[in-house]
C-alpha cells in the first residue's frame, strides 16, 4: 500500500520511530494507479521545488510495530515476528536448533498446563483425592518405588530424546525400516520436529507439512502462551502455596481485594 502525501509531513521521513518505509520524489502532478497515488511529470510542465513523500506500509507483522526484523528472521519460520534481541539466531545452525528447542518446550508447557489444571480441578471439586500439583512428585506408589520410577523415566525419555536428536542431525534417518522397532509406519515422520502417523496425528491434521504453515503458527502461538502460563503457575504456587484453581476461586470470591497486588504486598509485610 502506498500513500503519496504533500510537503506538510515531509519531516516524517526523518523520524526513526515512523512505522513505514518512506521515500521522497519530485512532484509536478499526481496520478493514481493500482499501487496508490504517485507523482508524475506531465508534458511541458515546469520544474517544481515541491516534494512528495511516498509512504509504503510494512506487509509483515513484527513484535514491535515499525521495527525492522534482523535479516536472518525473514518470516519463513512459523511464528517469526522478528523477535531476537540477543541475536541468538544469527548462526543458521544455531537457529535450527533453537527452533526445535522452542517447539519441544512449547509442547511440554501445553501438556503441563493442561495436566495441572485438570488434576487441580478434580482435586478442588472433590471428584478425586489427588495431591496439589507441586506435591505430586512426593507421592508414593505401591506398584513401584520412587527410584524405580525415576530410572524408568530416564531410560524412556533418554531413548526418545536420543531418537529426536538423531533425526535432527540427519533428517529422515529415523524413518528407515527397522530404526524404531518396526513402528516407523505408525509415526510417518513428516519433518524434524513434526512426527505424524496414527499415533501422533490421529486426526490427520496437516498431512502436507510443507503447506501447513497455519497449523504450525497456531501450535507455536499456543505453546508460547502455555510457557508464559506455566511460569505464572510456578510463581503463584511459590507465593500463595495453593493451586491455580484455588487462586481463581479466591480471586472470584473477592475480586477487588484478592489480586496480585494485594498478595505481593501482603507477602512482604
Cβ pair 251, 139 in contact under 8 A: no
Q: Confirm or deny that 257 is annotated as ligand binding.
A: no
- Helical spans, DSSP H, in the chain: 92-124, 146-169, 184-187, 197-200, 213-240, 244-253, 260-268
Question: Which cell is 182 given?
Answer: 518396526
Q: Confirm or deny that 236 is annotated as ligand binding.
A: yes
Q: Confirm or deny that 102 is annotated as ligand binding.
A: yes
Q: Confirm or deny that 218 is annotated as ligand binding.
A: yes
3-state secondary structure of 70: coil
How many whole angstroms separate alpha carbon 198 and alpha carbon 47? 71
Q: Confirm or deny that 177 is annotated as ligand binding.
A: no
Cβ pair 83, 54 in contact under 8 A: no
Q: Confirm or deny that 7 is annotated as ligand binding.
A: no
- Helical spans, DSSP H, in 52-172: 92-124, 146-169
Q: Confirm or deny that 251 is annotated as ligand binding.
A: yes
User: What residues are designated binding site for chlorophyll a?
Assistant: 102, 105, 218-219, 222, 224, 236, 251
User: What residues are designated binding site for chlorophyll b?
Assistant: 107
User: What residues are designated binding site?
Assistant: 102, 105, 107, 218-219, 222, 224, 236, 251
Amino acid at each position: 500500500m502506498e500513500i503519496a502525501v504533500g510537503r506538510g509531513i515531509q519531516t516524517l521521513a526523518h523520524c526513526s520511530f515512523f512505522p513505514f518505509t518512506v521515500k521522497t520524489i519530485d512532484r509536478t502532478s499526481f496520478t493514481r494507479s493500482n499501487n496508490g497515488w504517485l507523482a508524475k511529470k506531465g508534458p511541458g510542465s515546469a520544474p517544481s521545488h515541491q516534494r512528495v513523500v511516498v509512504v509504503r506500509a510494512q506487509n509483515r507483522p513484527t513484535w514491535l510495530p515499525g521495527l525492522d526484523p534482523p535479516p536472518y528472521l525473514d518470516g519463513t519460520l512459523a511464528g517469526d515476528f522478528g523477535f531476537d534481541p540477543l541475536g541468538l539466531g544469527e548462526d543458521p545452525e544455531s537457529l535450527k536448533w533453537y527452533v526445535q528447542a522452542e517447539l519441544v518446550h512449547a509442547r511440554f508447557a501445553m501438556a503441563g498446563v493442561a495436566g495441572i489444571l485438570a488434576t487441580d480441578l478434580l482435586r478442588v471439586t472433590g471428584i478425586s483425592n489427588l495431591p496439589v500439583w507441586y506435591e505430586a512428585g512426593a507421592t508414593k506408589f505401591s506398584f513401584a518405588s520412587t527410584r524405580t520410577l525415576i530410572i524408568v523415566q530416564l531410560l524412556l525419555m533418554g531413548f526418545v530424546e536420543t531418537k529426536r536428536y538423531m533425526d535432527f542431525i540427519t533428517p529422515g534417518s529415523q524413518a528407515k525400516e527397522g530404526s524404531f522397532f518396526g513402528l516407523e509406519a505408525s509415526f510417518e515422520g513428516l519433518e524434524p520436529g513434526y512426527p505424524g502417523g496414527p499415533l501422533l496425528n490421529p486426526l490427520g491434521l496437516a498431512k502436507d507439512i510443507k503447506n501447513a504453515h497455519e497449523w504450525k503458527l497456531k501450535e507455536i502461538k499456543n505453546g508460547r502462551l502455555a510457557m508464559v502460563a506455566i511460569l505464572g503457575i510456578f510463581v503463584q504456587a511459590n507465593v500463595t502455596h495453593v493451586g491455580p484453581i484455588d487462586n481463581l476461586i479466591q480471586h472470584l470470591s473477592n475480586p477487588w481485594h484478592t489480586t496480585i497486588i494485594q498478595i505481593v504486598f501482603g507477602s512482604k509485610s
